[in-house]
Each structure stands twice: as structure tokens, then as C-alpha cells.
Amino acid sequence: MANLEDLYGPRVYYKRLFGLLILSVSVLLAPIVVRDPYYLELLFLCHYYVILACSWDLLTGFTGNVNFGHAFFIGGAGFAGALLNLHVGWGPWLTLPIGGLVAALCGLLVGSFTLRLRGPYFAAVTFCFATLLYKWIMIRYEIFGGEEGLPGIDWLMETPLGNYYFSGILMLAVISFLYLLSKSSFGLILRSIGENEIASEGSGINTTFYKIVAFMISAFMAGVAGAMYGHAQMHVGPEMAHDSLSALVLIMAVVGGMGSIIGPIIGAYLLTLVNESLRFMGEFRLLIYSSAVVAVILFAPKGLLDIITRGLRRLARQETT
Amino acid sequence: MATLINILVLGAIWGALYTLIAVGFTLIFGVAGIINLSHGTFYMLGAYLAYTFMTLWKINVPMSALMAVGVTALVGILIDRFGIRPMRERHVYVLIITLALAFFFQELMYALYGPHGKAVKSFVSGEIILANVHVTHQKILTFFVSGALVTLLWFFIKKTKTGKSTSAVAQNRDAAILVGIRPERVYLITAGISAALASVAGVFIAPILEAVPTMWVFPLFKAFAVVIIGGLGSIEGAIIAGMLLGYSETMVSVLISANYPDMVYLVAIILVLVLRPRGLMGKRAH
């Protein structure tokens, strides 16, 4: 059981706020050092995955319901935004929030059917919805472009730097929002569901309602990120709804450390950068990557964040003695 | 007439194969409470090992089939011992470690064998023709082997001492410990059997479909579907649901379009979970 003092005490509060401030400053000032468009694109990807991993973590990390179909929201909103942009001509300023809303509605629909199921059943249903969407995209290729996807979407910002700032600010907004949420009574209720759902129900909490709301918020964020990704690449493809994206997001959050906001941030940054830096390994890249993931999950089942904090504590103890 | 026979024959073959894959999946869930997402990996290992032994090393068919199944069972036991045992009680962890392992084996197969399909020669040649429908002997053999193995598993669990101890652990772990059963040993045996059954399906599918690194996904979905429709942990349910799924997919594929069979199981899972979460034969949804 997480100690309440650890989560809500004033010292932790300021520490976290300080961390958030450092992250914001470094995200906003990084382009002074990083000018190469390649690295800006890479950091854009990091921001994208941070939003996805953090939004996934809101439902799964807090309440323990494993969502195996995050790509349902990412791809669904990506394609909704792309179709609106191509056929109706709405720009990113409209398609991003609308993509998010579409995803949130899907979250409401899926959640109200399935969030009363527990454990593996919920995981199975979310997974099925994502796969259904993927198959649907492939079958109705005249609408969704099939394997090729839909090219020719309006750009998000005109330069990589613009994309970088847009995604960076969106990411910071998501993190700050999740941070405030985790401090609120809403966050506390979600955690209590994660610790013991029956006890929470017994305390008069309508757990299904809270889980659905959390699922909708999670879906909304993933949807906005999905629509943003589509505009930034000027292309949406079926891989945005593929299970491997769901799995990647899940693995990022788990490797970093579920149920903490910092964990998924670490996981998303680390795995995106490691994946890119292993590119010189050629065909063995994914083998090394996946064995590293297995090793982390085996030896640090609570995520890297847990290892880091334990290491820091040990260091601090050594200094005082 | 040809359509009817096509549906009956192909449906039976696919149904038997799904059942063979799914009984192992449901067995390990029923006994150890584990959703093993690397179950499809055992099927893939079966196919690749069959390719390695038969096509590359030129070992005869029965010997290489046995070796392939044996090696896969060993892998299943090792995964259970070193991957799952430390955190058996945490569902989320088990889901994630088995998923990560499935991806690891996919990449391992890429690295070892490359992305292209690896074909294995049919174990038996020839085919029979029923009202213009060609059925290869290989497919018929697959059907009978699947049926025989599922029956054998049934007798193992109901009649032998070891089999009874697995059901004892499934019913009540603490009571099983009290009568002298070691649950961890039962888990290892179950993991081995479960992996071996999926591997047999892989060995026999290798000549029909080629072995590719992503082939683990499809049987995993199917096993998941069969087990959810039939009820998690119920072997009877898995047999009924496996045959149902085989027939309904073949019907959709023959009568409507080859694009849609995959929709069948996805919609079936969603419907079952929404309307009757414990499945056809499941005991209790939780």
C-alpha cells in the first residue's frame, strides 16, 4: 500500500512541483542546443509517446485495469481527424479536440459495457475493439486507404521546431493536468480502486463511474495525441490502430513504472531514445530492444523508477552516516 | 453440395486445431490462474523447430515432431519457472511479462530465420476428393492428431493421479497442499503440457501455412476467443467453443467473404463478454 504521506504530503508536493518545473524549462529551452531537425523530430516522438504512456497509465496504473487496446483511441482519433481534415477541410485546431472527443466517446461506449468486468476480461475486450478497428481500416480501404493509409493531411506546424513546441507544450499540459488530478480526491478514489475495489465499493464509491470517467479522460488524451501525430506526419496509417502500438505504450509505462506519473515519462523517453540509438545495430535492433525490455520487467517488475528511487535513497543514507 | 462439404470439412479441421491450441491456454488458466500471452509463441516455436529439424537437419518426421514438441515444452516450463513464478499472484505482471516474452521470441525468430516464410514438406502426401472439394491428407492427419490429443488430455486429467492433482490445485490450492500436492510442481507440469499442445498445433500447421515470425499472434487471438466464449478454465467449454468458432469462421469465409472471418471471433468475444461474461461453460466470472 502506498503511504498517503508519500503521495500527498507537502514535502513531496513541492518536490514534484519542482520536478515539473525543471522538465518544463528543459523542454522549452532544449531547442537552443538542439537545432538539427532530425533530433527535433525524435524529441517530438518522445513527447507523443509520453502523452500516450501517461494517458494509458491514468486508467491502468491507478485502477489496475489493464487496457490492451490504447491504439483503438489513438488510431480512431487519428483517422477521424484525418477524414475531417481531408473531406470537410477543418484544420488541426479543430480536428485535434474533435479527435479527442471522438476517442472519449468511444471510451464511454467501451467503458460502460466492459469496465464492470475485471482483470483479464477487460484486457481482452479493449484488445478486441482495437483489433476490430484495425481490421475495419484494412477492409474498408476505399475510406481509410488500407495499408497505405491516408496521405496529404494538413501540417500541424510548418517547421519541425513548430511541431516540437506544439507537442512539448501539449505534453506539459497533459503532465500538469495528470499531476493535479492525482492530487485531487478523484485521483485518490482511483488509487483506492486500484488497491481494493471491493472495499472502495463498500465505502459508497460508485467505482464503475469513476473507472469510466478515468477511461474517458485517458482516451481523450490519447485521441488528441493521435490526431496530432497524424497532422505532424501529414499521414495516418493503419499502424496507428495496430496492437503493436498498444503493446509499445503499455511496455513504456511498465518499464518506467506504472501508477506514478514520472514512471511513464521516463519509460517513454528512454525507450524512444534507446530504440533510435540502436538503429546502427540493423536487424538485431529489435532483438536487443525486446530482450532489454524482458530483462527490465524480470529484474525490476515495479519499473525503473523504483530502482532509481531506491538507489537514490541508498546514496542519501550513505552520505548521512 | 460442394459448399456444404467444404464448410463441414474445413470447419472441422480448423475447429480441431483451435481446440488443440485453446485447451492448453485454458488449462493453465484454470490451474494456475495465468493468462499466458506467450501461448502463441509455443505454436510458433513448434513450427520453426519442425522446419529446423525436418528441412534443415533432415531428421525423419516422427522424430523431429517429438523433438520440436519436447523443446517447446521445456521452454514453457522455463518461462513458468523463471518468468512467472516470482510474481504469480499479480495478474498485471503476468500479462506483461508474457507479452514481452512473446515479442522477444518474435524478434529472435526474425534474427535467426529472417522475415520470409519457411515452408515444411507435408508429412503425408496425397489428397482425397469429396464432391469436388480437395482435402489434403495433411489436413486430415492434423484433424485426427488434434482430436486424439484432446481426448488424451481429457483422460489424463480425469483418470491419472497427476492429472487429478492438477484439478485439485485448480479447485482449491490450500486444500491441495494439505493432502500433499506440491502446487509449484503441478504448475510446472501444466505449463509443460500447455506448451506442448500448442507446439503440436504448430508442428502440424507448418506444412499447411508457412512459418513466419509474426505467426504467434493469430493462435493467441483464437485461443483467447475460444477460451472466453467457452469459459475461462473449462476444457469442455474450449472444445465446444473451438468447434463452434472453426465452423462459424469457415461459414463466413465460404458464404460471405474471405475478409470477414476475423471479425467473427472479435465480435463473438465482445458479445460474450457483454452478455454472458463467464462464457458458455465457465464457472464464475472474476
- Return the amino acid letter for A314: R
Per residue in B212-260, pLDDT (tens digit) is 888 998 888 888 888 888 887 788 889 999 999 999 988 888 888 777 7
Contact B63, B56 (CB under 8 A): no
Could you tell me which residue, A127 or A96, shows the higher pLDDT?
A96
* Three cell numbers, residue A314: 541508498
* B259 neighbourhood in chain A, CB within 8 Å: 139
Q: Is a pLDDT exceeding 70 seen at residue A219?
A: yes
Look at B107 and A258 and tell me if their CB atoms are within 8 Å: no
Q: What's the pLDDT at A178? A: 93
Q: What's the pLDDT at A177? A: 94
Angle at CA B67, nearest 5°, toward B62 and B71? 155
Average pLDDT of the residues of chain B? 87
Q: Is a pLDDT exceeding 50 seen at residue A25?
A: yes
Could you tell me which residue, A285 or A78, shows the higher pLDDT?
A78
Q: Is a pLDDT exceeding 80 seen at residue A15?
A: no
Per residue in B26-50, pLDDT (tens digit) is 998 888 888 889 999 999 999 999 9
Q: Of B99, B107, B286, which has the smallest distance from its Cβ to A286's Cβ?
A: B107
> CA of A28 to nearest chain B CA: how many angstroms apart?
34
Q: Is a pLDDT exceeding 90 seen at residue A80?
A: yes
Size of the A and B interface in Cβ pairs below 8 Å: 99
Could you tell me which residue, A222 or B274, shows the higher pLDDT?
A222
Q: What's the pLDDT at A10? A: 65
Q: Is a pLDDT exceeding 60 seen at residue A3?
A: no
Q: What's the pLDDT at A1? A: 45
Taken in order A305, A308, A312, A318, the sign of the CA dihedral is positive
Q: Of B100, B224, B228, which has the smallest distance from its Cβ to A251's Cβ?
A: B100
* B37 neighbourhood in chain A, CB within 8 Å: none
Contact B253, B259 (CB under 8 A): no
Q: What is the ipTM of this complex?
A: 0.81
Q: Is a pLDDT exceeding 60 seen at residue A84?
A: yes
Cα dihedral: A83, A87, A89, A91 (round 10): 0
- Return the amino acid letter for B8: L
**Distance, CA of A279 to CA of A179 (rounded, Å):** 34
Look at B266 and A247 and tell me if their CB atoms are within 8 Å: no
| DSSP string of chain B, one letter each residue | -HHHHHHHHHHHHHHHHHHHHHHHHHHHHHHH----TTHHHHHHHHHHHHIIIIIIS---HHHHHHHHHHHHHHHHHHIIIIIIGGGTT-HHHHHHHHHHHHHHHHHHHHHHH-SS-B----SS--EEEETTEEEEHHHHHHHHHHHHHHHHHHHHHHHSHHHHHHHHHHH-HHHHHHTT--HHHHHHHHHHHHHHHHHHHHHHHTTTS-B-TTTTHHHHHHHHHHHHHH-TT-HHHHHHHHHHHHHHHHHHHHHT-TTSHHHHHHHHHHHHHHH-TTTTT-S---
Q: Which 3-state string (H, E, C) describes A280-303?
A: HHHHHHHHHHHHHHHHHHHHCCCC
Per residue in A131-182, pLDDT (tens digit) is 889 988 888 888 888 888 888 888 888 888 999 999 999 999 999 999 999 8
Q: Is a pLDDT exceeding 90 seen at residue A74?
A: yes
Q: Is a pLDDT exceeding 80 seen at residue B280?
A: no
Q: Which residues contact A158 (CB under 8 A, 6 or more apart)?
A: none
> CA of A53 to nearest chain B CA: how many angstroms apart?
15
Q: Is a pLDDT exceeding 80 seen at residue A41?
A: yes
